[in-house]
Amino acid sequence: MNRTIIININGIVFHIEEDAYEVLRSYMIDVKKHFGHTADSHEIVGDIENRIAEMFNERIVQGKKEVIAMQDVSEVIAQMGRVSDFETGEPEEDSTEAAYDMPPMSGQRKLMRDPDDKVFGGVCSGLGHYFDIEARWIRLILVLLFIFGGTGFLLYIILWIVMPVAKTRADRMAMRGEAPNLQNFKRSFQEEMEGLRTNFTGAEEGLKSGLNSAGNFFVRAFVVLAKVLGVLVIMGMCGGLITLLIAIVASFGFLGSENGMAMFPLNVIEPDFRTPMLVSALFVAIIPFLALVALIIRILFNKSVIGQYTGFTMLVAWLIAVGFTTVYGTRTLNDFREESTVVEERPLEKQEVYHLSKNDLTVIRLQTDSADRISRIRQRAIIRNHNVLEGHSRMHMRIVKVDATQEPSITYEYSAHGATYERAAERAGRIDYQFQQLGGKLIFDSHFNIDGNDLMRHQQLYLKLNMPVGATLIIDRDLQRHIWDLPFNQCEDNYNYPDGDRPDKTEWTMTESGLKCAVIPPPIEEETIDEERTINIDTVQKN
């Protein structure tokens, strides 16, 4: 089966097979080039076309043979004669001869894409022709650029757009810097026929013979080195590929796509989309990998690992996966657009002294008390997500001064993100946090919990402990990392423990100017240091 093209020669319509058309077209281009210099070119070419049309017409038998095939074209061309055969008929005094004697414009190469020697768009081979280097080295450089830095891909796309494709033989010759004269045309055509005959497999032989004739040991050594390097790169990449596969397959099992069990980054994604997102992530990551491996193999060993259709299918699959990831990624991002904070204030029982301690949810305690079951479940959830969520879901607090007349209280500020303000607020409201007051003891959970079905949407919790002036606070050491704006280090120094030991708890008093360390620093040494400091500052200011 063959595709046919409809052509029109001097007003007569022919159906011609695609490959036959290509040959005919290149023949006509040659003819036009040949006569292009003479004044009568138009008429001569017209005559020739006319005659070709007539010969085609003679070959067509209605109802039996209605399509011009390759054989017809080659026979017609044989009868018409090759451009090279026209030479004998050309009058010597003709101005065309002079035109052929023009100095060849060698050296003036044109930067064009080579359609005869291409992997994607023939950019590399075009560059190779331009710089007179073998295309595979350009390809290798570009692939390396792609791997180390990623600029190669962009560069290739830009060059593909900028460089025109060398369609006609004249273009191809200009690309190689050959003069567009008849001899070269002939040679070029013969080369092309040669290429067709050997079905374009001659590249390897071409390289070998080129190397042999050059007899260049270093070049050969370089090729071997490049191949060894290529094999290593391929092996490395295969290793990476396997790792990637394992990672992604494992992520189905361990990260868990079911509700409530998801870990980062899956807990950012809606449950229904987790599996498709994983699959598309698999495609997005692995397809370029495979393509790269295949490309390196092709460049170095001239072996096509992936067929044209497979390659095309892979490209389409990759684009779909990228599209899906992008679309869903934007949707997920969109869900981060609005931020909402829900504030809740609760009174505290008034006490002289408060002891602030932490209920660390990341540590499992032996709890026989069955009434505490819920808190254990919460603990387990926190522990499971510990690695990732530790930083995210940690409670932070601040201790704020209020007037002595006012009652102590605690303010919860829950915040979360969502597509709309309302949804963000709802989500913030679902943050689960436990705080207990047992007389003078204030027990804070170290972390807040997110509803099992809720997605990670930058949930945060700030606590504000509003303390009236005059209250005394004893703060456990392990709570320090949850409290902002308190100089714990200085206060601990005041205890002056030997050997750099630190106290388990620090004592603070709320004053008119804020929370102050209740322990007075050991008198003599500290003061002298302070004085020295102030003196130093003074002198610096004077200068």
Partner 1 sequence: MRKGILEYCILSIISRGEIYASDIIGELKKARLLVVEGTLYPLLTRLKNNGLLSYVWKESTSGPPRKYYQITPAGLEVLIRLDTTWEELVFAVQTSMEGRDKQTTESSN
Q: What is the dihedral of CA 211, 212, 217, 220, to 10 degrees?
A: 40
Tell me the C-alpha distance between 514 and 510, whole Å. 6
Should residue 91 be labelled a site residue for partner 1 when binding is judged by CB under 8 A?
yes
φ and ψ of 351, to 5 deg: -140, 160
Answer yes or no whether residue 7 interacts with partner 1 by CB under 8 A.
no
Q: Are 463 and 377 in contact (CB under 8 A)?
A: no
Q: How far is CA 10 from CA 69, 80, 90, 150, in A?
A: 19, 17, 25, 52
* 8 forms part of the interface with partner 1 (CB under 8 A): no
Closest to partner 1 by CB, 95 vs 151, is 95
Window 458-497: residues binding partner 1 (CB under 8 A): none
Is residue 92 at the binding interface for partner 1, with CB under 8 A as the rule? yes
The residue whose two tokens read 């940690």 is 394
Its sign, for the CA torsion 104, 107, 113, 118, is: positive
423 lies in the binding site for partner 1 (CB under 8 A): no
333 binds partner 1 (CB under 8 A): no
Site membership for partner 1, residue 90 (CB under 8 A): yes
Report long-range pairs for 139-142 (Cβ below 8 Å, ≥24 apart): 139/295, 139/299, 140/226, 140/299, 140/300
| Contact flag: residue 422 with partner 1 (CB under 8 A) | no
**Contact with partner 1 (CB under 8 A): which of 2, 18, 57, 331?**
57
314 binds partner 1 (CB under 8 A): no
**Toward partner 1, which CB reaches closer, 86 or 324?**
86
Cβ-contact 384, 377 below 8 angstroms: no
What residues are paired with 400 via a beta bridge? 466
Shortest separation between residue 102's beta carbon and partner 1, angstroms: 19
Q: Which residue has the tokens 């959830």?
A: 381
Contact between 507 and partner 1 per CB under 8 A:
no
53 binds partner 1 (CB under 8 A): yes
Specify the stretch interacting with partner 1 by CB under 8 A; choose among 52-60, 291-299, 488-496, 528-536: 52-60
The string of DSSP codes covering 198-225 is TTT-HHHHHHHHHHHHHT-HHHHHHHHH
* Span of 30-38, 118-126, 361-369, 476-484 interacting with partner 1 by CB under 8 A: 30-38
Contact between 506 and 491 (Cβ < 8 Å): yes
Sheet holding 67-68, edge to edge: 4-9, 12-17, 67-68
Measured from the CB atom, is 50 or 509 closer to partner 1? 50
- Cα–Cα–Cα angle for 218, 224, 228, rounded to 5 degrees: 140
Residues binding partner 1: number (CB under 8 A): 31
Residue 14 CB, nearest approach to partner 1 (Å): 11
Which amino acid would we find at residue 460? Q
> With binding defined as CB under 8 A, does residue 95 bind partner 1?
no
The SS3 assignment for 122 reads coil
Q: In this chain, which stretch among 75-83, 227-235, 480-488, 492-500 interacts with partner 1, using CB under 8 A?
A: 75-83
One residue of 21, 86, 318, 414 binding partner 1 per CB under 8 A: 86
437 in contact with partner 1 (CB under 8 A): no
Residue 31 sits in the site that holds partner 1 (CB under 8 A): yes
User: According to CB under 8 A, which one of 7, 69, 80, 119 is a site residue for partner 1?
Assistant: 80
28 is a contact residue toward partner 1 (CB under 8 A): no
Segment lying near partner 1 (by CB under 8 A), choices 40-48, 242-250, 258-266, 510-518: 40-48
Binding segment (CB under 8 A) for partner 1, from list 86-94, 215-223, 280-288, 315-323: 86-94
Rounded to a whole number of angstroms, the minimum distance from the CB of residue 4 to partner 1 is: 20
Closest CA to 134 of 201, 207, 195, 227: 207
Q: Which residues bind partner 1 (CB under 8 A)?
A: 10-12, 31, 35, 38, 40, 43-44, 47-48, 50-51, 53-54, 57-58, 78-83, 85-86, 88-92, 94
